[in-house]
């Protein structure tokens, strides 16, 4: 990175120990990002930021982190960008085969289970991504769940969050969410939760996308955000 070419800025080196600057973030923070999913009345929302960054530098603002894996099921992934893309590809592979063989859609619950298995397979050399599943099952019941990088599932009835600003997201969601939100309210609330959270996170933001899934289909909206 920059430090290799020009040397570490003097104000960031220790005068005593001459240690190199700790500018390497953890692998999960290298690219940054945020995804949140929420349950509403007969619907679910899933939203993410659009930043593609390499540590402090932003390299793109159109980066897809939420993928429509089935008709009514989305998966949002944060963490290392390459693993976000790889997991999305692996899921597409598996769900395509499922669809062809079983001639039906995979339910969100089953998808989450599959995702968990795929992650645990790499238990001792994992994919650095923590996904979120959001969708409606065959009967139109909302389903959301989050996972850590080795597939431990967390089922929730209200909301799930993942990314580099989960503390912010938890705080916002806990404050703003309430049960039985109608679609328009859900959209407002999930958007506010995401925006307020990423605005206080250096490595998230640069645009946002929100999907609202109901029994009739999906509404996708792109949000104009602070471009910093």
Partner 1 sequence: MARAYDARTTIFSPEGRLYQVEYAMEAISHAGTAVGILSTSGIVLAAEKKSVSPLLEPVASSDKMHKVDSHVAVAVAGITADANILVDHSRLVAQRYSYEYGEPQPVEQLVRRVCDMKQGYTQFGGLRPFGVAFLFAGWDEQHGLQLYASDPSGNYGGWKARAIGANAQAATSILKQEWNDELDLDGALKLALKVLSKTMDSTTLTPDKLDFATLTHSEAGGVAFKLLGNKRMQKLLDETTLDNTEDD
Residue ranges that bind partner 1, judged by CB under 8 A: 89-90, 92-93, 96-97, 100-101, 103
CB 137 to partner 1: min, Å: 20
**How many Å apart are CA 187 and CA 13, to the nearest integer?**
45
Question: With respect to partner 1, which residue has the nearer C-beta, 92 or 137?
Answer: 92
The tokens of 20 are what? Answer: 């190199």
* 94 backbone dihedrals φ, ψ, rounded to 5°: -70, -40
Instruction: Tell the smallest beta-carbon distance from residue 120 to partner 1 (Å).
Output: 20
Nearer residue to partner 1 within complex by CB, 91 or 210: 91
Helix, strand, coil percentages (3-state) for the chain, rounded to 5, are 30, 30, 35
- How many whole angstroms separate alpha carbon 136 and alpha carbon 183? 14
The closest alpha carbon to 134, from 33, 79, 65, belongs to 65
Question: Nearer to partner 1 by C-beta: 90 or 113?
Answer: 90
Give least dist CB 100 to partner 1, A: 5
**Shortest Cβ distance from residue 182 to partner 1 (Å)?**
32
> Are 4 and 21 contacting, i.e. CB atoms less than 8 angstroms apart?
no
Cβ proximity to partner 1: between 23 and 93 the closer is 93
């Amino acid at each position: 990175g920059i430090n290799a070419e020009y040397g570490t800025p003097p104000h960031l080196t220790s005068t005593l120990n001459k240690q190199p600057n700790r500018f390497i973030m953890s692998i999960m923070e290298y690219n940054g990002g945020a995804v949140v999913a929420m349950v509403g009345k007969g619907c679910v929302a899933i939203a993410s930021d659009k930043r593609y960054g390499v540590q402090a530098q932003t390299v793109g603002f159109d980066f897809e982190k939420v993928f429509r894996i089935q008709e009514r099921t989305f998966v949002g992934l944060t963490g290392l960008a390459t693993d976000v893309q790889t997991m999305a590809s692996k899921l597409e592979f598996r769900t395509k085969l499922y669809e062809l063989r079983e001639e039906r859609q995979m339910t969100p619950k089953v998808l989450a289970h599959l995702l968990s298995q795929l992650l645990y397979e790499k238990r001792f050399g994992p994919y650095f991504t923590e996904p979120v599943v959001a969708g409606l099952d065959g009967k139109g019941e909302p389903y959301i769940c989050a996972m850590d990088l080795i597939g431990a599932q967390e089922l929730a009835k209200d909301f799930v969050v993942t990314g580099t600003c989960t503390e912010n997201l938890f705080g916002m969601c806990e404050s703003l969410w309430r049960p039985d939100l109608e679609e328009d309210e859900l959209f407002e609330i999930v958007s506010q939760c995401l925006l307020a959270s990423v605005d206080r996170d250096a490595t998230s933001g640069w645009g946002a996308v929100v999907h609202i899934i109901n029994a009739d289909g999906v509404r996708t909206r792109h949000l104009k955000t602070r471009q910093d």
